[in-house]
Structure 1
Amino acid sequence: MSFISVFDVLGPNMIGPSSSHTAGAAVIAYLAHKMIAPPLKKVDFTLYGSFAKTYHGHGTDRALLGGIMGFSTDDTRIRNSFSIATERGLSYSFTPCETETDVHPNTVDIRMENAAGQVMTIRGESLGGGKCRIARINGVEVDFTGEYSTVIVVQQDKPGVVAHITKVLSDKGVNIAFMRLFRESKGNTAYTIVESDGHFPEGIEEPLKNNPNVHDVMIIEP
């Protein structure tokens, strides 16, 4: 029998009522907002499974909106996330989708657009106990939780890029816990996701970007 922590049952410190439908949703959106340069101008949430059925009653909408504005799971501003978003000039929408059923029951697609016109889409799954998984970035299947310090390198799938990434991290003394490569198809856009036990050194983005096949670098600290 697998071990179940009391925190898997009760969930983290949070604005309730549900660790799956509020805390997990807030974490997904919080991670998403770390992947795009601020300020956000517009965000659209598409909800699936039980998220689509109960998002308003369980406060999933408020939690998602709070997370996308950078609020942690226990931030009391989540209760007022609608009015705060309006004050900040952030346009938002929630669209339940009950036709696509071959997804995790607590799934959300987040489409973000910032003031510079950059658009990014994220798919996240709330796993229970306030935990989540990022399952897609811009349509590419990925897999990370945000529980570790994470660097995401957006790159062209070319020889030598992964070696460049590992050399930079080694030179900076980063201890790699997990490292995985996800790609659209051979030679196209790929995402190298590196998770570390410790925080990444300040300014590590610049040496990572110092390769013609690296398009962007995102740092997500828990």
Structure 2
Amino acid sequence: MRFKDVFSIIGPAMVGPSSSHTAGAARIGRAARHLYGRDRQPAKAEIVLYGSFADTYKGHGTDMAIVGGLLDYPTDDERLPQAQEIARASGTEVVFVPGKGMHPHPNTAVIKLYEQDAEEPALFMTGTSIGGGNIEVVNVNGFNVRFSGVYPTLVITHTDSPGVIADITQILKREWVNIGYMSVDRKSRAGDAMMVLELDAAIPSALLEELSGFPSIRELRAVELS
């Protein structure tokens, strides 16, 4: 568990009532929106809640917080209590589903975001609220990768071929962008892989553009919640 500073332990500025069930939930939703794409609106959001999230989500405002995060609202945004109405008015259908079976943490949400008329989600993300408003994303589109959302984060889907990770990290080194944490996973040998890089500084737009044109990269997303 990686904390940025003492304020990460105390918890963020937020619309209450709970740092774990409200602030953490909002950050989980916002991480999903950044992975999906901040410049586009999902047609449908299916949100599966597990553990105490499922037991108390209405009373603790977990539902409105996750949807507010999906609208890219920060934890202290005054629009959070109206988030579900705003989402529906903007064209996003929101569905909450009680989760069954094993889950990685007592406060777990699986978020599935769909394009219009799509049967399969464009984004499938599992996030956990670990206390004090802090979160950990533990799965993205079937890849077992992890990140906290505390730092600027690159999530890169790429071909699993020799030298790809080295090439990308060399580009970051050239631009003096330091990597604080890395998580990688692959679905099959020589198939698709995912790389998550938590960085010590904001991600320059020119760097994002350069990496987006990298031949081995299938998809690139930047998650910046701070």
In structure 2, relative to structure 1, the CA distance for the partners of 1:18 and 1:178 (3 Å cut) is: same
Aligned to 2:28: 28
1:150 correspondence with 2:153: yes
Residues of 2 paired with 1:141 and 1:154: CA distance?
12
Alpha-carbon offset, residue 96 of structure 1? 1.2
Higher strand share: 1
Pick closer, same or farther for the CA change 1:79–1:216 going to 2, 3 Å: same
2:50, 2:103 within 8 Å by CA — same for their partners in 1? no
SS at match of 1:142: coil
CA shift in 2, pair 1:102/1:149, >3 Å: closer
Q: Hey, what does 1:106 align to over in structure 2?
A: 107
Q: What is the aligned partner in structure 1 of residue 15 from structure 2?
A: 15
Preserved CA contact (<8 Å) 1:154 1:216: yes
Q: Secondary structure at the match of 1:174?
A: coil
Using the alignment, how far apart are the partners of 2:170 and 2:117 within structure 1? 32
Corresponding residue for residue 64 of structure 1: 66
Instruction: Tell me, in whole angstroms, the C-alpha distance in 2 between the residues paired with 1:6 and 1:170.
Output: 29
1:94 to 88, 93, 96: 96
Say yes or no: does 1:82 pair with 2:84. Answer: yes
Distance 1:165 1:116, change over 3 A: farther
Find the residue that maps to 1:203 and give its secondary structure: helix
The aligned amino acid for 1:149 is P
Structure 2: runs of 5+ lacking an equivalent: none
Query: Do the aligned partners of 1:182 and 1:190 also contact (CA within 8 Å) in 2?
Result: yes
Amino acid at match of 2:57: Y
Residue 210 of structure 1: CA displacement? 3.0
Preserved CA contact (<8 Å) 1:149 1:195:
yes
* 1:115 CA drift (Å): 5.2
TM-score normalised by structure 2 residue count: 0.89
How many residue pairs match? The answer is 218
Task: Give the percent of matched residue pairs that are identical in Structure 1 and Structure 2.
Answer: 37
Structure 1: segments with no counterpart, 5+ residues: none
Alpha-carbon offset, residue 100 of structure 1: 1.1
Shift of 1:19: 0.6
* Residues 8 and 134 in structure 2, CA contact (< 8 A), matched pair in contact too: no
CA deviations over 1:37-66 (Å, ceiling 9, x no partner): 312211110000001111111110000000
Residue by residue, what CA displacement relative to the aligned partner does 1:68-105 show, whole Å, maximum 9, x if unpaired?
011110001011112111210111100112x3134310
TM-score by length of 1: 0.91
- Residue among 144, 162, 165 paired with 2:165: 162
